[in-house]
Amino acid sequence: MTFRIDRREALLGLLGVAMAPHVARAAAAAPQRVIGARADTGSRYFVTGFDTAGDVAFDLPLPGRGHGFAVRRDGGEAVAFSRRPGDRITVLDPRAGRMVREVAAATDRWFNGHGTYGPSGRVLYASETIASSGDGVIGVYDAGAGFRRVGEFPSGGLDPHDMRLLPGGETIVVANGGILTHPDAPGFQLNLHDMQPSLAYLDAGSGALRQKATLPPALHQLGTRHLAVAPDGTVAVAMQFAGPSMRTVPLVATHRLGAPEMTFLPLTEDLLAGLRGYCGSAAMDATGTVLGIASPRGNLAVFWDLATGHVLGKVGVADGCGIAADGEDGFLLGSGLGGMFRYQPGAADATRLPLALATTARWDNHLMTLPATG
């Protein structure tokens, strides 16, 4: 079953894209608002909104561990996705700091931790897996009708994880990790010998596959997991290697719709070793010219100038995974052991954010910047 975006939806999306650079510049001077999932020292789970001045806007309990987020373009609504295999999503009003509703996974489906709104916010897309077969699908939800599930379409591969809407609002890019799993044994990877990771570009209205970018056969165990998208449509891909731990492989690539293959960004041997085969999150700065990735296994974050491909800097953050833009050219980094940090690429070190939860919050995998309020 498909769900087609109407002409009004598409035009609203294009208008939002055209206005986005002006909004970013106007908001640069104000404290950045961010949303993240966390656990406390008692292993209770929360979704937390805060700003870069250190003020907490809301701290709401979750029924289980959170993962990624989708935020409506105007910032008036957000969705927190449960960690895969997830059984629900939680809809929030980040301005009022309250939960709106919980939406259970459909029969024989589980959520994979990520999703994105359509351009006008009337539709939510979620990466999901069919439990009985392992096939990947994109669930389609009517956000204006209580998030009723109105359809789905194939994700273009197994294990769809992160997904983003490209500028223009007509195409969704999905990172299909290529791993076959089962909810009864979520920690087991059942097809390491024939993984087929990919980037799939899907028509947001019909679900039709526009392009599928794959990796060379020698890198078939390099799972495409997390994405960041620049204003010009460049997609950055952060990957996780499921092969032998003693082997080092490239982990970060870029791609454009229509390009024949992904282009790997340079990493020195010491940085490759430091990342330990695992990139847990990715983000662009507000200008869309600097890419940051974080590796919780390597306790390390690395930053590139996308125009030149040069590494701009690196910084150590213990169990650091969550990463988001901070202002025009900085980043926030969350630690799974406690603490939120600000980093300017090229600086010698990160600085701790004066956040009330800094010493107790164990930040989970992802952070997301919220749009500025008017």
Q: What pLDDT shows up at residue 181?
A: 74
Q: Which of the two residues, 294 and 357, has the higher pLDDT score?
A: 294
Residues 6+ apart with CB under 8 A from 164: 116, 172, 173, 227, 228, 229, 235
112-144 pLDDT tens trace = 999 999 998 999 999 999 999 999 999 999 999
pLDDT (mean) for 326-345: 91
Q: Give the pLDDT band (50/70/90) at residue 9.
A: very low
Residues 55, 95 contacting (CB under 8 angstroms):
no
pLDDT score for 187: 67
What pLDDT score does 194 carry?
A: 82
Per-residue pLDDT tens over the stretch 270-286:
999 999 999 999 999 98
What pLDDT is recorded for position 14? Answer: 35
- Name the CATH architecture for the domain at 7-369: 7 Propeller (2.130)
| Res 19: pLDDT | 34
Number of Cβ atoms within 10 Å of the Cβ of 102: 15
pLDDT confidence of residue 46: 96
Residue 154 pLDDT exceeds 50: yes
Report the pLDDT value the prediction gives residue 210, as an integer from 0 to 100: 98
Report which of 233, 236, 226 is spatially closest to residue 304, judged by C-alpha positions.
Answer: 236
Three-state SS at 19: helix
> What pLDDT, on a 0 to 100 scale, did the predictor assign at position 360?
80
The pLDDT value recorded for residue 20 is 38
**Where are the chain's structural domains?**
7-369
Burial grade of 7 (CB within 10 A; 0-12, 13-18, 19 or more): exposed
Rounded average pLDDT over 312-332: 92
What pLDDT does 50 receive? 93
Asked if residue 22 has pLDDT above 60, the reply is no
Per the prediction, the chain carries an average pLDDT of 88
Residues 6 or more apart whose Cβ sits within 8 Å of residue 245 = 276, 277
- The two beta strands, 330-335 and 340-343, are antiparallel
Q: Name 324's Cβ contacts closer than 8 Å, sequence gap at least 6.
A: 32, 34, 283, 331, 332, 367, 368, 369
Give the pLDDT confidence score for residue 179 in this predicted structure. 80
